[in-house]
A = this chain, B = another copy of it.
Amino acid sequence: MEEKRKKKKEQEKENRKNTILKAARRLFFDRGFKSVTVDNIAEKAEVSKGSIYLCFESKEEIYVQILIADNIALYERVKNFANIEASASQLLQEFARIYVNFFMSDKELFRILMTFMMQTTQMNLTEKQTIELIKSTNENIKIISQIIQKGIDSGEFRPIDNIYQMQNAIWGMLNGIISLFLFTGNPIKRMERIHSTVQDSLNVFIKGLKV
């Protein structure tokens, strides 16, 4: 009885949180992080400003929750990659394709992810929130080293001393290329160019990994 009540309460709180997150997501992805105010979110979510601060500690935390949820959603799509029947090269290419599509699917998602990565210490985040964000990111990065390992095991790649370095290099290359095109590239041809640059440079890298 008392237990049930508590459960229900928590459920309601969770719903409230999700309502706010959903409203915030929409606003952030339309207009970017900076130009959305907490009042905007409150209005859109049809709750009071104060209530938002009962669910979240800061505007930044709202965004971090969105990023973490997205990291997890991506992870769901790639977690079994290393077990798929295909060459490691193909898997890396496919991973890259999905990664780019995923983080470019919303106009501002990648921009803000990267900004948060660069500014974690400046944001009003608790240690816990930061760690959770890093952890959810790492889960995804790890898939890359699983694929590389698979390639080594099958003899497709030569043995490599430090798989982590290669994992970091590939992940860095993906993010770096996306960043560069977001910064300098023509918005119209952007997606196409990101994909072809990622694909071609990954091929060069893969060639370097082979025996």
Q: Does A171 contact B (CB under 8 A)?
A: yes
A204 touches B201 (CB 8 A): no
A110-148, CB < 8 A from B: 111-112, 114-115, 117-122, 134, 137-138
Q: Does A58 contact B (CB under 8 A)?
A: no
**Docked pose: A35 CA to B34 CA in angstroms:** 15
Q: Does A69 contact B (CB under 8 A)?
A: no
**Residue interface mask A47-80, B partner, CB < 8 A = 1:** 0000000000000000000000000000000000
B172 touches A176 (CB 8 A): yes
**Size class of the contact patch on chain A:** 35 or more
* Contacting residue for A208 out of B122, B176, B207, CB 8 A: B207
Give min CB distance, A133 to chain B, whole Å: 9
Stretch at the interface among A1-9, A14-22, A37-45, A180-188: A180-188
Q: Does A154 contact B (CB under 8 A)?
A: no
Chain B contacts for A191, CB-based, 8 A? none
A160-175, CB < 8 A from B: 162, 165-166, 168-169, 171-175
Chain B contacts for A117, CB-based, 8 A? 179, 182-183
* Contacting residue for A169 out of B165, B182, B184, B201, CB 8 A: B201
